[in-house]
Amino acid sequence: MHDLRQVSTLFDMRADFVKATAYGSGHINDTYCAWYSHAGSPVRYIHQRINPNVFNDPIRLMENIERVTRHSLDRLIAENHPDAYRRTLTCVPARDGRPFAIDVDGHFWRTYPFIERARGYDEIESNPQAYEAAKSIGAFQKLAADLPGERLHETIPNFHHTPKRLQALEAAIASDAFDRASSVATEIEFARARAADCPVLIDLIDRGSIPERVTHNDTKLNNILLDETTDEGVCVIDLDTTMPGSALYDFGDMVRSMVPSSREDDGTAPHLQVRLDRFESLVTGYLDSADFLNEAEKSHLTFSGKLLTLECGIRFLTDFLQGDVYFKTNRPQHNLDRCRNQFGLVLAIEETFFEMETIVQRALNR
């Protein structure tokens, strides 16, 4: 636990610090919810320590986030949105005016207003949630498409370069630093058997068939806050990986997190299934806002779900072999369970691929 009272002094809070607790279930950053008294009224903020093992250039990362969130806010205000500061993250400035602060240990921190009356879900509960979340991501991509200025920084280069993710797995198998490779022979075999899938999207991007867009790149359900009473999409959060990418990375990662019949870390899920009803809601919600997709993008929607799930499973397996250094874990085989779950979902998608395609076609032809 960091000294959050101390952290709070680094920002221009204009409110009295009361208390803070660790918050959320993100796998990457250290997130705290802090209560303040603002001229006597209770108000909450999020203080977040940026994970230095994952992001090696926090200044550029925050430059991206500052640009994207200002652009969203400007748009919302121009539209006279009554809820503008709840519909986008906004950076609370540090004492020196920058959108981040550095503590005595050299850690980078940022502060956001807490988005109230909204929730992020680790596990989906209903079809309207899939519809709303996906609609929010389509809208986010649309808004990001007219972000003025230079190309955003790549905060994690090759983040969704699936062949490189497979290479990283091979390197982890070769070094086998924790002597775990023999215990995961089945999972290694599963990944290797799908090597031919890995370059499909990257090749289409390289050939120019799929355009580069500004995308979020980490669109799992709990990174989209939904209104706690209506389920309406309220705010897209976790903007660390918002950078040049493919719309299909965002769509595929939503499939990964919203269609399975189990939690991401349930490694023993028997007969993990694709919930086709969830998938239909997801596709419909996404297409209702993402009205800019080209033919190559449209024809790879289902495939992107399979690929992003495979890629994520490969990343969990790699981290397991490397001694659990990237994703936060809270039990010894946590990453392995996550990997098994993702690979179970890949299989389920393979088995229902044609039904999923039919749903996509139906949604496109509405």
State the amino acid at position 307 in one-letter form.
L
The DSSP symbol for 173 reads H
310 binds ligand ADP (CB under 6 A): no
- DSSP letter at 106 equals S
For residue 242, what are the CA distances in angstroms to 48, 93, 249, 267, 318? 17, 20, 11, 29, 23
Strand partners of residue 260: 274
Q: Phi/psi of residue 20, each to 5°?
A: -145, 150
Instruction: Tokens for 126, please give them.
Output: 């209903």
Q: For the window 47-66, what string marks contact with ligand GN1 as x by the rule CB under 6 A?
A: -------x------------
Q: What does the per-residue mask of binding to ligand GN1 show for 219-238, with x meaning CB under 6 A?
A: -x--x--------------x
Among 15, 26, 36, 274, binds Mg ion (CB under 5 A): 26
Name the one range near ligand GN1 by CB under 6 A: 22-30, 137-145, 270-278, 291-299.
22-30
DSSP 298: H
CB 167, min distance to ligand GN1, A: 17
Measured from the CB atom, the residue of 184 and 237 that comes closer to ligand ADP is: 237
Note whether 223 binds ligand ADP by CB under 6 A.
Answer: yes
Q: How far apart are CA 48 and CA 103, in angstroms?
A: 12
* Cα distance between residue 366 and residue 348, in whole Å: 26
Does 115 help bind ligand ADP (rule: CB under 6 A)?
yes
The one among 129, 162, 241, 261 contacting ligand GN1 by CB under 6 A: 241
Binder of ligand ADP out of 2, 18, 23, 361 (CB under 6 A): 23
In angstroms, what is the minimal distance from the CB of 63 to ligand ADP? 17
Which residues form the interface with ligand GN1 (CB under 6 A)?
A: 26-28, 54, 218, 220, 223, 238, 240-241, 264, 312
